[in-house]
Amino acid sequence: MGERMRKPALYSSSTSDRSAVPFAAPAAAPPQAPAATTPLRQRLPAFATDLRLLWLAIGALTLLVLFTLSFSSAPGARKLTQEDIDAAVLKTLETAVLPSPATRAYDTILPSVVRVVGYVTDKKTNKEIEYGVGTGVVIVDTGVILTNLHVVRGAQHIKVTFADGLESSAWVRGAQPENDLAVLQAHKIPDDLQAATMRSTADLATGDQVLAVGFPFGIGPSASTGIVSGLKRSFRSPEGKQEMSNLIQFDAAANPGNSGGPLVTMDGEVVGIVTAILNPTEARTFIGIGFAVPIENAATAIGMPPF
């Protein structure tokens, strides 16, 4: 694979008044760390493109109606009125089948979602066995991936699978233990790898729709929709070993395997990294309360100033 120019993480144009959260310094990277970054142009959200195409189609249909009527009407025929134009536009809106906001968000984020699997060597058989399954999201198109630290902690070998099916080994190039975050670097990447766009949580509000994408119980990529249930929440792990604060609470279904996956807006922009679910039973399954680390914290895990 030829040399590819490294590009920085993408951020949406949303303004933010929130100060960056203090972070732990990334762990030292092995010698094969990527080269220096260069600027990357922001991508237009998918929904904006869909709307432009819709209105272009409406405009084209309206012009076609005007053109047809102007040449086919006999002398003395009724002139085209505003009501005729409105009826033509309404007919187009009624018959056009558009994807739902959740579908557009899923299509936007999917190329940046990866499956993350950790392996260890069984001492008895000397064979590699699956240690843990989670999700990650590409934030720099040179193969820099965000996931949860608990997904890869203790793994002797890490493998990531990209959206196009390409598999690659990966190594941990940085960590932020206080927020259960790990930064991975894939050794191989697709030629057309897309980085997700990150969006500030400064204007995120309770009730906003969100989408969680990942590999629950290893099945996926799977998507679930819900809303932001609350902000600046705290969560203590079931074992009581770690407590995290300033979390996004959401009710989109998440289960083991969703850990490390993106929580995105209906624009397909990442506002958080799914990190935990609240369940007081031993089942450890979703009962309606999930938590995500705000993307401001996650971005600093790789030493990038967010927004």
Q: How many structural domains comprise the chain?
A: 2
| Boundaries of domain holding 82 | 46-98
Distance CA 157, CA 129 (A): 10
* Percent of the chain clearing pLDDT 70 (strictly above): 71
Query: Mean pLDDT, the chain, as a whole number?
Result: 80
Distance CA 161, CA 106 (A): 17
The model's confidence at residue 37, banded by pLDDT at 50, 70 and 90, is: very low
On whether residue 65 sits in a domain, the answer given is yes
pLDDT at 27: 36
Residue 160's CB is within 10 A of a number of other CB atoms, namely 25
Which one of 98, 122, 138 terminates a domain? 98
State pLDDT tens for residues 145-175.
999 999 999 999 999 999 999 999 999 999 9
The sign of the torsion formed by the CA atoms of 301, 188, 170, 238 equals positive
Q: What is the mean pLDDT of residues 197-212?
A: 96
Is the bond preceding 99 in cis, omega lying within 30 degrees of 0?
no
pLDDT at 107: 97
On whether residue 41 sits in a domain, the answer given is no
On whether residue 228 sits in a domain, the answer given is yes
Q: Are 161 and 111 in contact (CB under 8 A)?
A: no
Catalytic residue numbers, as ranges? 150, 180, 259
State pLDDT tens for residues 64-85.
655 555 555 555 556 778 887 7
On whether residue 223 sits in a domain, the answer given is yes
User: In this model, does residue 243 exceed pLDDT 50?
Assistant: yes
State pLDDT tens for residues 47-65.
444 555 555 556 555 656 5
CA distances from 293 to 48, 80, 206, 299 (A): 27, 57, 15, 10
On whether residue 137 sits in a domain, the answer given is no
State pLDDT tens for residues 86-128.
887 777 767 777 789 999 999 999 999 999 999 999 989 999 9
CATH of the domain at 205: 2.40.10.10
As given in the structure block, the two tokens for residue 53 are: 């195409």
State pLDDT tens for residues 129-149.
998 899 999 999 999 999 999
Which one of 68, 98, 128 terminates a domain? 98
On whether residue 234 sits in a domain, the answer given is yes
What is the separation, in whole angstroms, between the first and last Cα of the chain?
32
User: In this model, does residue 3 exceed pLDDT 70?
Assistant: no
On whether residue 69 sits in a domain, the answer given is yes
On whether residue 285 sits in a domain, the answer given is yes
> Where is pLDDT greater, at 109 or 43?
109
- What pTM does this model have? 0.72
